[in-house]
Amino acid sequence: MQIYAINGSPRKTWNTATILQNVLDGFAESREDALTEMIDLYSLDYKGCVSCFECKRLGGPSYGRCAVRDGLGALLPRILQADALVIGSPIYFGDVSGMLRAFLERLLFPCLVYDKAHSSLAPRKIPTAFVYTMNLPRAAMEERGYPQRLAAMESYVGRLFGSAPRLLHVCDTLQFKDYSRYKMEIFSAEEKARQRELEFPADCRRARELGAALAADAAGEA
Ligand SMILES: Cc1cc2nc3c(=O)[nH]c(=O)nc-3n(C[C@H](O)[C@H](O)[C@H](O)COP(=O)(O)O)c2cc1C
């Protein structure tokens, strides 16, 4: 049973990647036949949708598929055949990272049919999840309406893959090890260190539980 984790952070070992790895581990712990793979978007060479509409051209060779041949060309069809998908991003200016946004344009647009039924050309209905990591504490995240802003992309993923994605918001993350070396006076280094020591492990546990829940969803046990 295959799950892919899409890492929309440029950092391959920091908050988002760590949370995603915990989701993969939770998935693997629940299934003997689990196959897990992390895909680091920032290691790939690609652009967002170029609006060629080849994926919508009736009778065309790329109908329902992305026609662009670049670093995502071979990957997108592989991802669409997965049994589960977890998508992770740091929050940049209140939204997902630019690389994740570009990836989602390329993954989702070929699956989207402009008909009254909002049909999907995704070859499989699969369970999905979004995990977000961000600097803001939870109350400030709610106050600024991040969950509402992020809901638009989540609803496309839900519609195209058959069910609403599971969600995990990881707040108040540590941005770097030594706050004294950067101009960041509005943050308390002590508070961030405490958060990292006490809250982040709990977030990692939640991520493992999320992985287990995705495995159950994929096995039709939910
Ligand atoms: C360009 C940039 C923009 C950011 N914008 C926000 C933001 O709008 N809200 C927020 O809470 N955190 C913001 N952050 C903080 C990151 O979302 C946060 O540190 C995240 O956990 C980093 O993930 P990573 O460790 O996987 O790279 C921003 C960081 C960067 C580099």
pLDDT tens for each residue of 163-218:
999 999 999 999 888 888 888 888 888 888 899 999 999 999 999 999 999 999 99
CA-nearest residue for atom 4, ligand 1, is 92
Which tokens is 179 given?
């706050």
| Phi, psi dihedrals of residue 194, rounded to the nearest 5° | -65, -45
User: In this structure, which residue's CA is closest to atom 24 in ligand 1?
Assistant: 15
Exposed / middle / buried, residue 4 (Cβ in 10 Å: 0-12, 13-18, 19+): buried
Q: Is 9 in the pocket of ligand 1 (CB under 6 A)?
A: yes
Say yes or no: CB of residue 89 within 6 Å of ligand 1.
no
User: Rounded to an integer, what distance in angstroms lies between the CA atom of residue 192 and that of residue 176?
Assistant: 10
Asked whether 195 lines ligand 1 (CB < 6 A), one says no
Q: Say yes or no to pLDDT of 111 above 60.
A: yes
Instruction: Fill in the amino acid letter for 181.
Output: R
**Claim: this prediction has a pTM higher than 0.95:** yes
**Residue 93 Cβ contacting ligand 1 at under 6 Å:** yes
What is the arithmetic mean of pLDDT over 125-134?
A: 98
**Cβ(144)–Cβ(136) below 8 Å:** yes
Q: Where are the beta strands (DSSP E) in the chain?
A: 2-7, 35-40, 84-90, 128-133, 166-170
7 within ligand 1 shell (Cβ under 6 A): no
DSSP annotation of 120: B
What separation in Å is there between the alpha carbon of 190 and the centre of ligand 1? 19
pLDDT band at 97 (very low <50, low <70, confident <90, very high): very high
Residues above pLDDT 70, as percent of the chain: 99
Superfamily designation of domain 2-218: Flavodoxin domain (3.40.50.360)
- Mean pLDDT confidence for 37-49: 98
> Quick one: pLDDT at residue 96?
98
Region 89-117 average pLDDT: 97
Contacts of 128 (CB under 8 A, 6+ apart): 84, 85, 86, 87, 157, 158, 161, 163, 165, 166
Residue 222: pLDDT over 60: no
Give the span between the Cα atoms of 179 and 17, in whole angstroms.
Answer: 21
Give residue 91 CA to ligand 1 midpoint distance, Å.
Answer: 5
Distance 182 CA to ligand 1 centre (A): 15
Instruction: Compute the mean pLDDT over every residue in the chain, rounded to the nearest whole number.
Output: 96
Question: Does the beta carbon of 187 lie inside 6 Å of ligand 1?
Answer: no
10 Å CB burial of residue 152 (0-12, 13-18, 19+) is: exposed
| Tens-digit pLDDT profile for residues 46-86 | 999 999 999 999 999 999 999 999 999 999 999 999 999 99
- Look at residue 221 and tell me whether its pLDDT is greater than 80: no
